[in-house]
Structure 1
Amino acid sequence: MIRTLIVDDDYRIAKAHSSSIRRIDPFVPVGEAHSLAEARAMVRTVQPDLLLLDLYLPDGNGLDLISGLRGAGQPDFIVITAARDIDSVRRAIRLGAVYYLVKPFGFAQLREELTAYRRLRDGLSEAEVASQETVDALYGLLRGPANRAGDRRLPTTMAQVLSTVRESAEPLPATGVAERLGISRATAQRYLADLVRRDLIDLSLNYGTAGRPEHRYHSTEKRR
Structure 2
Amino acid sequence: MIPILVIDDDYRVASIHAAIVEQVPGFHCVGEAHSAAEARTAIRDFQPELLLLDIHLPDEDGLSLLRTLKATAGRVPDCIVVTAARDLHAVRTAMHLGAVYYLVKPFGVGQLRDQLRAYRRWREQLESSDQADQETVDALYNLLRAPTALNSSPPSQLPPTMAKILDAVSAAAQPVSATQIAQQLGMSRPTAQRYLADLQRRGLVALDLAYGSTGRPVHRYHPAAPDRRRTRP
TM-score normalized with structure 2 length: 0.92
Q: For residue 16 of structure 1, what is the aligned residue in structure 2?
A: 16
User: C-alpha distance in 1, partners of 2:156/2:78?
Assistant: 34
Contact 1:56–1:62 at 8 Å: present in 2 too? yes
Q: 1:223 and 1:12 mapped to 2: Cα distance?
A: 29
Aligned pair 1:6/2:6, yes or no?
yes
User: Is the 8 Å Cα contact of residues 178 and 192 (structure 2) preserved in structure 1?
Assistant: yes
Q: Identify the match of residue 99 of structure 1 among 101, 113, 117.
A: 101
Q: Supply the AA of the counterpart residue of 2:219.
A: H
Residue equivalent to 1:175: 179
RMSD: 1.6
Is residue 4–residue 48 contact of structure 1 (8 Å, CA) maintained in 2?
yes
Shift of 1:210: 1.1
Deviation at 1:140, TM superposition (A): 1.3
Question: What's 1:185 paired with?
Answer: 189
Deviation string 1:101-159 (CA, Å, 9 cap, x unpaired) is 11111101111211211111111011111100100111111123262344341111111
Supply the distance in 2 between the matched residues of 1:115 and 1:92 (Cα, whole angstroms).
Answer: 21
Q: Which amino acid aligns with 1:186?
A: P
Question: Helix, strand or coil for the counterpart of 2:110?
Answer: helix
Distance in 1, Cα, partners of 2:92 & 2:160? 38
**Corresponding position of 2:231:** none
In 2: Cα distance, 1:32 partner to 1:156 partner = 48
Partner Cα distance (2:220, 2:130) in 1: 15
Tell me what 1:86 maps to: 88
For the Cα contact (< 8 Å) 1:4–1:29, is it kept in 2?
A: yes
For residues 29 and 151 of structure 1, the distance between their equivalents in structure 2, rounded to whole angstroms, comes to 36
Contact 1:150 1:198 (8 Å CA) reproduced: no
**Equivalent residue, structure 2, for 1:73:** 75
SS in 2 for 1:128: coil
Gap runs ≥5 in structure 2: 229-233
Note the alpha carbon deviations across 1:8-63, whole angstroms, 9 max, x for none.
Answer: 01111100001111111111111000110110111111111100000111101011
Give 1:7-46 correspondences, 5 Å limit. Answer: 7-46=7-46
Paired residues of 2:153 and 2:202 also in contact (CA < 8 A): no
Question: In 1, Cα distance between the equivalents of 2:14 and 2:136?
Answer: 36
The farther-off stretch of 67-76 and 12-21 is 67-76
- What amino acid is aligned across from residue 42 of structure 1 in structure 2? A
SS at match of 2:157: coil
Q: Aligned partners of 2:101 and 2:33: how far apart in 1?
A: 20
CA contact (8 A) 1:140 1:194 kept: no
Q: 2 CA distance for matches of 1:15 and 1:172?
A: 42
Q: In structure 2, what residue type is equivalent to 1:60?
A: E
Whether 1:119 aligns to 2:121 is yes
Count of residues in Structure 1 that have an aligned counterpart in Structure 2:
224
TM value normalised by structure 1: 0.95
CA distance in 2, matches of 1:174, 1:222: 22
* 1:136 aligned residue: 138
1:210 aligns with 2:217: no
